[in-house]
Amino acid sequence: MSDRLVTVYLGLGSNMGSRSQNLEKALGYITQRMRLIKKSSVYETEPVGNTEQPKFLNMVCEVKTMLTPETLLLLTKGVEQKLGRPAKHPKDSPRTIDIDILFYGDQVFSSPDLIIPHPRLSKRAFVLVPLNEIAPELVDPASGKQIAELLKEVQKGIRGVHKIGGCE
């Protein structure tokens, strides 16, 4: 546990089973251990990498936590397993839920199991569009750029990101 509350942004995605229900269940588990501050709308997105799989539903949430980055990773992996994602899975495979730690405060963190900010977030419209909805002025500590700026750099990728549900 950290000795202070940290603002964390998590990316959630699902493309198997009841995708929207998987997102809601994951949020439910997350909010048992953290305080939900904001959540984005839900977006339907094209798969990246392995394109021979169903479309995803993606969203981003802002939470406050005292968990360390390592403990937060254990928690997110535990939620994924509770919702049916195997601990060992092929890269870019279909999944009931995927939870990525996008940002942990303004920290840059690297360990063999975890890199924060998420190393591919600046190239992923499916993360940047919902993140821009709730935190356009958030600064990526790795690049020094605001989310709105990063989103402008991936404009062509936005074509595959479609809003399907509003914030509650």
List the catalytic residues: 85, 95, 98, 100
Looking at residue 140, its amino acid is D
